[in-house]
Amino acid sequence: MTDTLFLTSADVDDLAEPADYVAVVRDAYRQIGEGAPAEPRTKLLNREPPGMLTTYAAVLPETGAMGGYTYSAGFGAGDAWFMTPLFDAESGEPLALLDGASMNPFKTGAAGAVAVDALARADATEIAVIGSGAQARGQLATTATVRDFEAVRVFSPTAENREAFAEEFDDRLDADVSAVASASEALDGADVVITATTASEPVIDDADVEPGTHVTAMGQYHPKKNELPPELIARATYVPDIRARAAQDAGSFLAAIEAGLIDEDHVAADLGEVVAGEHPGRTSDDEVTVFDSGGTGIETVAAAHMLYKRASEDGRGQTIDFAPASEALTGK
Q: What is the pLDDT of residues 98-139, one digit of tens each?
A: 999 999 999 999 999 999 999 999 999 999 999 999 999 999
Pairing of strands 289-292, 214-217: parallel
Q: Has domain 2-104+297-328 been given CATH number 3.30.1780.10?
A: yes
Name the CATH architecture for the domain at 117-292: 3-Layer(aba) Sandwich (3.40)
Say what the alpha-carbon torsion angle 217, 218, 220, 226 is, to the nearest 10 degrees: -50
What mean pLDDT is predicted for residues 277-303? 96
Report whether pLDDT(82) > 70. yes
Residue-by-residue DSSP string for 220-259: --STT---S-HHHHHHSEEEESSGGGHHHH-HHHHHHHHT
Out of 62-71, 74-83, 230-239, 273-282, which region has the weakest mean confidence (pLDDT)?
A: 74-83
Report whether pLDDT(157) > 70. yes
Of all residues in the chain, the percent with pLDDT exceeding 90 is 88
10 Å CB burial of residue 183 (0-12, 13-18, 19+) is buried
**CATH 3.30.1780.10 boundaries in the chain:** 2-104+297-328
**CATH 3.40.50.720 boundaries in the chain:** 117-292
Positive or negative: CA dihedral 319, 81, 197, 248: positive
What mean pLDDT is predicted for residues 207-225? 88
Helix (H) or strand (E) run with residue 95 in it: strand 94-99
What mean pLDDT is predicted for residues 191-210? 95
Residue 37: what residue type? P
Residue 279: what residue type? H
C-beta separation of 109 from 143 below 8 A? yes
Alpha helices in the chain, H assignment, sequence order: 9-12, 18-33, 104-119, 134-143, 159-172, 183-187, 230-235, 246-249, 251-258, 271-275, 297-313, 325-328
Q: What's the rounded Cα separation, in Å, for the pair 45 and 67?
A: 22
SS3 at position 286: coil
Q: How confident is the model at residue 30 (pLDDT cuts 50, 70, 90)?
A: very high
Report whether pLDDT(77) > 70. yes
SS3 at position 54: strand
Q: What's the rounded Cα separation, in Å, for the pair 67 and 28?
A: 13
Residue-wise pLDDT tens digits, 224-247: 778 999 999 999 999 999 999 999
Report whether pLDDT(151) > 80. yes
Q: How confident is the model at residue 332 (pLDDT cuts 50, 70, 90)?
A: low
Q: For residue 220, what pLDDT is reported?
A: 66
C-beta separation of 107 from 22 below 8 A? no
